Amino acid sequence: MSKAASDRTRRDIQYLRALAVASVVVYHFWPNRLVSGFLGVDVFFVISGFLITSLIVREVATTSTLSLTNFWVRRIRRIFPAAIVVIIATAIATNATLLAEQVQMLGRHVFASAFSFENVLLGLDAANYDRRDGMTSPLQHYWSLSVEEQFYLVWPILVLVAALVARKSKVPVVRILAIVLGVIAVASLVYAIAFAQGVASSYFDTFARAWELAIGAAVALWAQRPRESWRWQFIANRVGWAVLAVTFFVPGLNDFAPGIGILPAVLATALILATGPAASARTLPLSRQFLSATEWLGDRSYSVYLWHWPIVILLPIYLGRELGLVSKVAAIALTLVLAELTYRFVENPVRYAKWPWTFKPAIVGAVAFVTSAAVVTVTFLAPQEIGKQEPDVDLTAKMLSLPTTSGTAGVVAEFPYVLPYCDGAGAAVFDCERNADLEFDMAAYPIAPPLSSTCQYEEETFIVDCVMGDTSASRRIALVGDSHARAMWASLDLVGKRAGYAVHEFLTPRCSYRLFHYDWCTEHNRDIELRLNSGEFDLVILAQSSSVYNPATDNPINPFGELWGELKSNGVTVAVVKDSPKRGPVLSQCLKLNRENPGLCTRPFDSRIDRATQTALDLGFPVIELDNAYCPDNLCEAVRGGMFMWRDNGHISAFYHLTAPLLFGVS
């Protein structure tokens, strides 16, 4: 979202900036109204590619070379001051919320944002761009800034190389750059459409976004050619504006980002930039006051973008409620005030400073690096344990030590494996005093099994044959499934230790044991198919996220049918875990706003059966149903037995699950 001094004569670029930032802000406050307002970020990408390439090409044309250090100094002076000010303010405001989830992840995002790899961090975390709850970073929006800064790092080097090649080959540098841009744009767009589609991390992938910046750069090269205005240029410009405005209201485009879904907005922006000079001679049919206000917003678009997202995430925490119409309007007003102050007292003073040291690359680079390092260091040194409550006892040891005499007096008949206890799930099925106080923090237990000599894996996304439980036992259980199965890793580890089973865990988020899903998931399931059917395991437990079964609308091809039917045909002993209740997207936000009264987050139980469970019943597989441990009396509470039951909107916490397995046992 950079801005060059030379674009003052291009008011249409300021109007584009204003439209882009307005669409993003409105989308983040009213996502159901401006359904594709996120495309404003893509408009910024095209503008950045256009402006930066225009500056670079002009310098190369004038001097026959390019000073990389001077270019990067200008970028630092333009981008860094406002960015670091917002990072500092956001870090302070986040710590002041005392919200454990936010404070505990703050350091990682401050580090990533300050050093321009927030998009990489979000990609590694497979973050959801549209999510805005207790686990959403208030610095998440720095991902787009990181993409641009990575472009600023690489593109000038390519231009310099092209200039050297042009000098030796006598080929015009613009022609060489056009070829380079063509290759980058085509390769990036093909990658975004063919390989990155549907992969959560690809939304933030720099290479999947490179084609947008390349198109803007290509327009800049085209603009260098001498030409006269053509007959339909004005009409083409207005068509570009119309198409761009319409795309913000088209639903479903996010499902096809960063590929074909954003192509219309990118091409419309490129058309506006290409036809702008001649078209700007004829003003838009709007009032002068409106155009002045739009230009004002365009000037401050960078600061508006920086400030709006922390306000979206943090303001509801301070207010203790969701934002309504009045509070949203007030939040936007606050964003504009902060943007004006930042523009007037941070952006412009540093950008236009005439002090000699501000032009020295070594000094400017050192100041930026030291400042970023200092901010990151202070953030990591700040208390990171806010709200985190460690258990007074080793809950795993307590669960292991519970007697399993089925004849014990007072034991609930349908759960004959253990004496009554009131921690976590035990409070749901035994006669316990009702207690909504938090004694255990949901972060006190890892979401994935720890690495050990019998459990080796490189990352949480593919945990293949991690052996837990009684690792020396001859009897074996296989736990297979997606992130809903991974939530059970600790409970099956406990079952294995108590019952004398080695538990082999095959856990891959977003990949249950099924077909007709992601290609990489099908390949993974084919890789483990032979082992599961070999008779190696005494019991195969399948656990997965599964949608509610609706025979009237569901695809007649059952995605679970083939692989599960093969297990039945081969005589494999299988048990299927019924999916946990569906809480919907409101839980995390509800807990964030009602930490002192989590009972307000209670929801009615949805008793409808899911498709995986229906498949199990059709095949005659036993179903492990924990509905009574999750939602007794048909009510799903957020806190039970001293701990959060949910890790997020859709996953039972591993800590809560640890208290559930003794309720069904294995014999």
**Which run of H or of E encompasses 566?**
helix 561-569
pLDDT bucket at 126, cuts 50 / 70 / 90 = low
Q: What are phi and psi of 647, to 5 degrees?
A: -85, -35
Mean predicted confidence (pLDDT) in 247-273: 91
Mean predicted confidence (pLDDT) in 373-393: 66
Superfamily of domain 395-663: SGNH hydrolase (3.40.50.1110)
Rounded distance between C-alpha atoms, residue 493 and residue 175, angstroms: 63
The domain locations on the chain are 5-381, 395-663
Is 493 exposed, middle or buried, given 0-12, 13-18 or 19+ CB atoms closer than 10 A? Answer: buried
Residue 152 near residue 72 (C-beta atoms within 8 A):
yes
pLDDT bucket at 413, cuts 50 / 70 / 90 = very low
DSSP H helices, 320-452, are 325-342, 348-351, 361-381, 395-401, 426-429
Rounded distance between C-alpha atoms, residue 264 and residue 248, angstroms: 10
Residue 666 scores a pLDDT above 50: no
**Structure confidence by residue, pLDDT tens digits, 615-629:** 999 999 988 888 888
- Of the listed ranges 216-220, 438-442, 544-548, the least confidently predicted one is 438-442
Contacts of 50 (CB under 8 A, 6+ apart): 216, 217, 219, 220, 270, 273
Q: pLDDT value at position 415?
A: 40
Name the pTM for this structure.
0.71
Rounded distance between C-alpha atoms, residue 309 and residue 109, angstroms: 14
Name the token pair of 398. Answer: 């307590």
Place of tokens 């998009």: 119
Place of tokens 């591993």: 654
Residue 141 near residue 311 (C-beta atoms within 8 A):
no
Q: pLDDT value at position 388?
A: 45
**Structure confidence by residue, pLDDT tens digits, 300-343:** 999 999 999 999 999 988 887 778 899 999 999 999 999 999 99
**Structure confidence by residue, pLDDT tens digits, 22-69:** 999 999 999 889 999 999 999 999 999 999 999 998 888 888 778 899
Q: pLDDT value at position 4?
A: 41
- Of the listed ranges 241-255, 332-346, 649-663, the least confidently predicted one is 649-663
DSSP code string of 545-556: --PBP-TTTS-S
pLDDT bucket at 8, cuts 50 / 70 / 90 = very low
Mean predicted confidence (pLDDT) in 371-387: 75
What percent of the chain stands above pLDDT 90? Answer: 43
Q: pLDDT value at position 408?
A: 34
CA dist 527 to 448, 498, 522, Å?
21, 30, 9
